[in-house]
């Protein structure tokens, strides 16, 4: 079994694709992270970010569904997530799949978590960022290991309060990453109030897992904005690099992780509670309907349909695009590599030829791609 030694090294903020998808290309600030639910208020930008998430999420969901595992039906729900946006009475309404692997839904979920948890942390005196890890496990051992870790950390919280007579407030986050050789690395990040409590957490963890945890693999640092970003990052890494430096999505490993995470809470408040409806809004996996303000042709009723070729929602009556999102060349190539082998699947089915779509909406950058696809 591989032994983990660098809990911080693999999960620096801003180094993974999903982080980029959440935060935009430039930074890792909480302000940017919180945008989807905050009053930042540029609906067009919001739609662009949603389009970017949808653009990656769709081929990822296809690849996962093709594995034909027990989550297949849910993966197909993600394929259809926000597939249509109905514009009526100045509002845009869409259905969301609510699944944890869906990049569209995760943008919403992450924003909700930030809006709920950050104000709580801000009321704490001094807070610390604690990383708790154990040796890696195989796919078969993963669900049981997750269960054990969550149970143990809950018990430690109780012990800090009852045995050590210290107040204890924390937010714990569960993360699982895959490792070479079919191994998995479930680990916990916690933001904890108080240095003494944070150090206790680490020492009690080592005590509970004498065979599986080593001192150098646990980490306690003072909490700052960077570590808070870490707490609200996606709970797994979507991409991994091959030996020749190529960026790929390890679909089989991700499916294993998503199955093991099913029904587990990503974030858990310890020693305090959030209002029930807010907790449910963060952790729910149910299909939701959500509405936002229309951004163009406000008075009209429009049926915007997602087109993977155009990377946007398109009005097939006029050929107009809703978000005007344009993927960069590198991101487009990457998404297309995820979609590799998709040729037998209908990615989308425009009711009019792509050639007659609004030329202004189709940039020079993506035109060759569309031509290539329609000549197929």
Query: What's the closest the beta carbon of residue 303 comes to Zn ion, in angstroms?
Result: 19
Contact predicate 194/165, CB 8 Å = no
Query: What's the closest the beta carbon of residue 254 comes to Zn ion, in angstroms?
Result: 15
Under DSSP, is residue 95 helix (H, G, I), strand (E, B) or coil?
strand
Query: What's the closest the beta carbon of residue 232 comes to Zn ion, in angstroms?
Result: 18
Query: What's the closest the beta carbon of residue 48 comes to Zn ion, in angstroms?
Result: 17
Q: How far apart are the first and last CA of the chain?
A: 47
Query: What's the closest the beta carbon of residue 99 comes to Zn ion, in angstroms?
Result: 6
Chain mean position to CA 70: 21
Query: What's the closest the beta carbon of residue 82 comes to Zn ion, in angstroms?
Result: 7
Cα–Cα dist 177/309, whole Å: 31
* Burial (Cβ within 10 Å: 0-12, 13-18, ≥19) of residue 274: middle
Nearer to Zn ion, 105 or 339 (CB): 105
**DSSP code for 63:** H
Give the closest residue to 220 by CA, choosing from 130, 121, 160. Answer: 130
Strands (E), 259-301: 267-270, 288-293
Nearer to Zn ion, 102 or 357 (CB): 102
Q: What are the DSSP calls for 304-317, one per residue?
A: EEEETTTTEEEETT
Q: Which residues contact 336 (CB under 8 A, 6 or more apart)?
A: 59, 369
Nearer to Zn ion, 140 or 290 (CB): 290
Cα–Cα dist 278/276, whole Å: 5
Applying CB under 5 A, the residues found at the interface with Zn ion are 81, 96-97, 102, 104-105
Q: What is the dihedral of CA 38, 42, 48, 54, to 10 degrees?
A: 30
Q: Which residues contact 359 (CB under 8 A, 6 or more apart)?
A: none
Nearer to Zn ion, 85 or 200 (CB): 85
Nearer to Zn ion, 97 or 229 (CB): 97
Contact predicate 267/171, CB 8 Å = yes
Nearer to Zn ion, 104 or 339 (CB): 104
Nearer to Zn ion, 159 or 292 (CB): 292
Query: What's the closest the beta carbon of residue 290 comes to Zn ion, in angstroms?
Result: 10
Strands (E), 273-344: 288-293, 302-307, 312-315, 320-321
Tokens of 243: 């030996």
Strands (E), 82-147: 84-88, 91-96, 127-133, 137-138
Nearer to Zn ion, 53 or 204 (CB): 53
Nearer to Zn ion, 127 or 323 (CB): 323
Query: What's the closest the beta carbon of residue 279 comes to Zn ion, in angstroms?
Result: 19
Query: What's the closest the beta carbon of residue 63 comes to Zn ion, in angstroms?
Result: 16
């Amino acid at each position: 079994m591989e032994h983990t030694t660098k809990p911080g090294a693999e999960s620096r903020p801003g180094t993974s694709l999903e982080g980029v998808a959440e935060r935009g290309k430039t930074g890792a600030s909480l302000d940017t992270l919180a945008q989807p639910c905050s009053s930042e208020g540029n609906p067009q930008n919001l739609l662009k970010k949603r389009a970017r998430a949808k653009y990656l999420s769709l081929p990822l969901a296809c690849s996962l569904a093709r594995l034909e595992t027990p989550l297949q039906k849910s993966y197909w729900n993600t394929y259809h997530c926000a597939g249509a946006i109905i514009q009526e009475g100045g509002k845009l309404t869409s259905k969301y799949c609510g699944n944890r692997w869906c990049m569209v839904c995760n943008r919403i979920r992450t924003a909700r978590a930030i809006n709920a948890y950050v104000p709580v942390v801000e009321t704490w005196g001094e807070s610390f960022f604690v990383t708790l890890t154990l040796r890696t496990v195989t796919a078969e051992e993963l669900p049981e290991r997750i269960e054990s870790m969550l149970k143990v950390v809950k018990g430690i919280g109780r012990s800090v309060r009852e045995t050590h007579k210290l107040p204890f407030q924390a937010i714990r986050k569960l993360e699982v990453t895959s490792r070479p050789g079919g191994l998995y690395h479930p680990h916990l990040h916690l933001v904890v109030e108080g240095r003494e409590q944070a150090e206790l957490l680490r020492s009690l963890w080592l005590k509970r897992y004498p065979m599986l945890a080593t001192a150098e693999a646990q980490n306690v640092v003072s909490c700052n904005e960077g570590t808070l970003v870490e707490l609200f990052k996606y709970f797994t890494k979507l991409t991994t690099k091959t030996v020749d430096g190529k960026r790929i999505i390890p679909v089989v490993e991700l499916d294993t992780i998503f199955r093991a995470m099913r029904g587990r809470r990503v974030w858990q408040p310890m020693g305090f509670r959030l209002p029930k409806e807010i907790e449910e809004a963060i952790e729910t996996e149910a299909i939701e309907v959500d509405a936002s303000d229309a951004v163009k042709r406000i008075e009209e009723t429009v049926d915007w349909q997602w087109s993977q070729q155009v990377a946007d929602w398109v009005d097939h009556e006029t050929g107009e695009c809703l978000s005007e999102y344009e993927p960069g060349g590198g991101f487009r190539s990457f998404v297309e590599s995820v979609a590799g082998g998709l040729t037998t699947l209908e990615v989308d089915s425009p009711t009019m030829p792509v050639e007659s779509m609004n030329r202004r909406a189709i940039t020079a950058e993506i035109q060759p791609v569309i031509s290539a696809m329609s000549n197929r």
